[in-house]
Amino acid sequence: MDGLSGTAYNCHLACTCYHPLFVFNQFGDLERSALRPGNVHSADGWKDVLEPVVAHYRERDLRRYFRADAAFANPEVYEFLEAEGCKYTRRLPAKNCAGRPRLPRNSAN
């Protein structure tokens, strides 16, 4: 640990830091956030941050969409969003389900 309470060493970034988690709306406004130690997985604590935001909009007659990076590509997130009636898109991890690297975007195949 460093001098700041809650920081931790992150070997990916090679520094002692926090690893915040944010939820923004379509206008770029911050809906909710969590300040986490720098050594946690990117999706750690996702439900504690996302669930109150989804609950806030649950009774409103709105289309609800969720976009996330590859860290959130897990069944728990999908099941939560589907149960709440949210549409979603997310980036998939660098390897496909067969464990092989994906082809580059501009590949002919």
Q: What is the pLDDT of residues 78-106, one digit of tens each?
A: 999 999 999 998 887 776 555 555 555 54
What is the pTM (predicted TM-score) of this model?
0.72
- 1 vs 78, higher pLDDT: 78
SS3 64: coil
* Amino acid code (one letter) for 26: Q
Residue for token pair 């109150």: 52
Half-sphere exposure of 16 (CA within 13 A, CB side): 8
Q: Which of 83, 81, 84, 58 is nearest to 68 (CA)?
A: 81
Residue 5 has pLDDT above 80, yes or no: no
pLDDT of residue 39: 85
Specify which residues 14 forms β-bridges with.
Answer: none
Q: Among residues of the chain, what percentage have pLDDT more than 70? A: 79
Q: What is the mean pLDDT of residues 37-41?
A: 86
